[in-house]
Chains A and B, each alone.
Chain A
Amino acid sequence: MTTSQSSAAPAPTDRSMPPLLRSVLGGLVVAVPVVVIGVLILWLAPPYQVRIAFAGYVNLVIVVGLQIFMGNANIGNFGHSAFVGVGAYFVAILATPLAAKKLSIPNAPFGLSQVVLDPIVAAVVALGIVGVLALLTGFIISRLSGIAASIVTLSLLIISHGVFINYTDLFKGAQAFFGIPVVIGLPTAIAVAVAAIVVARVFRDSQDGVQLRASADDVLAARAFGVNVVRLRFKAWVLSALVCGSAGIMYAYFMGAVIARAFFFQQVFLTLAMLILGGMRTVSGAVVGCAILSIGLEAIRSLESGATIMGVQLPEMLGLSGLSLGAVIVLGMAFRPNGIMGRLELDELAAGWLRRLRRS
């Protein structure tokens, strides 16, 4: 059977390049729009918009992290915000200066209310804690498949939120944990986003990633080929958790305050929507979905609070942003059921066009 285009594996643009380099370059290509937009915002936008953009970049890192597990293992994941929260909370606990910390968690266990760590050290420790949590939960989740795994991730989300809210000695409950040193700006966020994209891309194209995706489609066949599906899922889960944890750390170090509510259903559903809308099979899908929904939501939110268009004052329309978000999602799924990006990464698509141009 002849096919006019191969949609299975990326046609290599240069067969002599080692696969790792190809993946890294591919990831960088995908990251280009991310960097360009970021630089433009830094250069042109007023500070409050930089702040909004930062939130968008945090979401981007989360969505990319989500893609690592969900896009490769094809299992719905509701628990990623747990890792975001753990990352954020632990840098809060470890790096907040003593004076502010006493106001928030005076009765912290293990003498944590007396401990202050350097922000970088705190970040590393927090990431380590995220890793440990990922290893423990991954042990369970990698052994489940399909809907049971998804429900367990949901359990993880609800349990983590419950702990954040109720273990007030350590997490300050439902109130904002403030006073975290603000040590990160948009440039760092952009860099972290690029790193996350490259990591996700390298994993996706690696032997582990390819095998995991194949096994997601047919577990029995994969096992027959000696593929250890459990080990692969475990890897994807831990990697995904670490990326999401980094997003949380980023968030804490920019906002200066964290609150449990931020790491619950709203974040989960927003990031899920971004990923599925963009196309969960590819890292580009994560990027595209995040970009579209972030920009769209912001545009609508400004309308929501009663913007003035051409001299006409519009009334306050609470719920408009949600309404539009929902409408975009429903329409998007109706017209592009597999997400906007489908199966090919941006650079693979571009390479395909170039080849066809060259042929004609």
Chain B
Amino acid sequence: MSDPSGAASFAALDQPLPDPPALLTHRTGMLVVENLVVRYGPITAVRGVSIEVGAGETVALLGPNGAGKTSIVSAVIGLVPSTGRVSFDGRDVSGLSPEERVRAAMTVVPEGRRVFANLTVAENLRLGGFVRRRERDQDAERDRYLAMFPVLRERLDQLAGTLSGGEQQMLAIARAMMSKPRLLILDEPSLGLAPRIVARIFEHIVELKKSGITIVLVEQNMMQALAVADRAYVLSTGSIRHAGPAAELRADPRLADLAIGGH
């Protein structure tokens, strides 16, 4: 690929900005982001982005490096300051700290996995269930995800830092699911993983999708993401350039050249 990030090709989409993506017919999306702006000092990483994700939907946020996708995720979960509104299940969470948002059943699987390398797999999972620690079915929940990711069961007492990239990704997802979230945000799950492993991970994402959870999938790997998502937004340099149902975007000839990793 002479243009791995697809940045130049995305420029082909730089026609006059389309009308803002049509809001869904149901007014109360599970996650509604209105006019999000994220600044780091003099640099504006996210320029007034509005996104809506309906309950049970899987929505992809696509775009090359530097498009602002991870900044959006950080702002949605509250780790970086931002202006604009973030609503979750009808409730304005803009003023809540990250911990409070997680307690409200939003959760993020961060970019790069970020498993706790000095803790074992079991300890990672246990910490993932922190917000549900008073509930009695923690063990049942854990078994459910160990069944979904059998390799984790084998490595239960191993330090998470010694796991392979794919195993860490599975651990990160299982850990996030331990908090019984209603919204799961996955930040670049395919990053740094071999194609075969990526395919497996995405199979698991489909499994999760089938269980009814709302998913926001941030990805550079467009083809994999579009295969799994219902709708997608395409971002470039902090703004939404294109949006629509996944099927439409899949068929768009302009985007066919931009497949990263998928052939």
Contacts and interface: CB of A to CB of B under 8 A. Distances in A.
Q: Do chains A and B touch in the complex (CB under 8 A)?
A: yes
Contacts of A5: 42
A3 B45 CA distance: 11
A179 to B, nearest CB: 57
A5 B237 CA distance: 19
A1 B66 CA distance: 10
Contacts, number: 8
A353 to B, nearest CB: 16
Nearest to B66: A1
A4 interface: yes
Contacts of B41: 7
A272 B237 CA distance: 43
Of listed B41, B42, B43, B237, residue having the most chain A CB within 10 A? B42
Interface in A166-216: none
Categorize the interface residue count of chain A: under 10
**Chain B's interface: helix, strand, loop or mixed, by majority?**
loop
A259 to B, nearest CB: 48
Nearest to B238: A1
Interface in B23-53: 41-43
Nearest to A3: B42
Contacts of A1: 43, 66, 237
Contacts of B237: 1
A178 to B, nearest CB: 55
A243 to B, nearest CB: 33
A4 B44 CA distance: 11
Interface string B103-135: 000000000000000000000000000000000
B203 to A, nearest CB: 36
Contacts of B43: 1, 3
Interface string A1-45: 101110100000000000000000000000000000000000000
Contacts of B42: 3-5
A7 B41 CA distance: 11
Interface string B232-257: 00000100000000000000000000
A9 to B, nearest CB: 15
Contacts of B66: 1
A288 B43 CA distance: 29
Interface string B78-119: 000000000000000000000000000000000000000000
B117 to A, nearest CB: 19
A3 B66 CA distance: 15
B173 to A, nearest CB: 30
A5 B66 CA distance: 20
A3 B42 CA distance: 6
A7 B42 CA distance: 10
B39 to A, nearest CB: 11
Interface string B55-70: 0000000000010000
A349 to B, nearest CB: 16
A4 B43 CA distance: 8
A4 B39 CA distance: 13
B245 to A, nearest CB: 31
Contacts of A4: 42
A352 to B, nearest CB: 13
A3 B237 CA distance: 14
A49 to B, nearest CB: 43
A3 B44 CA distance: 9
A215 B72 CA distance: 31
Contacts of A3: 42-43
A1 B45 CA distance: 9
B136 to A, nearest CB: 44
A239 to B, nearest CB: 32
Nearest to A6: B42
A320 B66 CA distance: 52
Nearest to B45: A1
Nearest to B237: A1
B191 to A, nearest CB: 20
Give the top 8 A-B pairs by smallest Cβ distance, nearest first.
A3-B42, A4-B42, A1-B43, A5-B42, A3-B43, A1-B66, A1-B237, A7-B41
Given A3-B43, A5-B42, 6 more contacts: A1-B43, A1-B66, A1-B237, A3-B42, A4-B42, A7-B41
Interface of B: 41-43, 66, 237
8 contacts: A1-B43, A1-B66, A1-B237, A3-B42, A3-B43, A4-B42, A5-B42, A7-B41
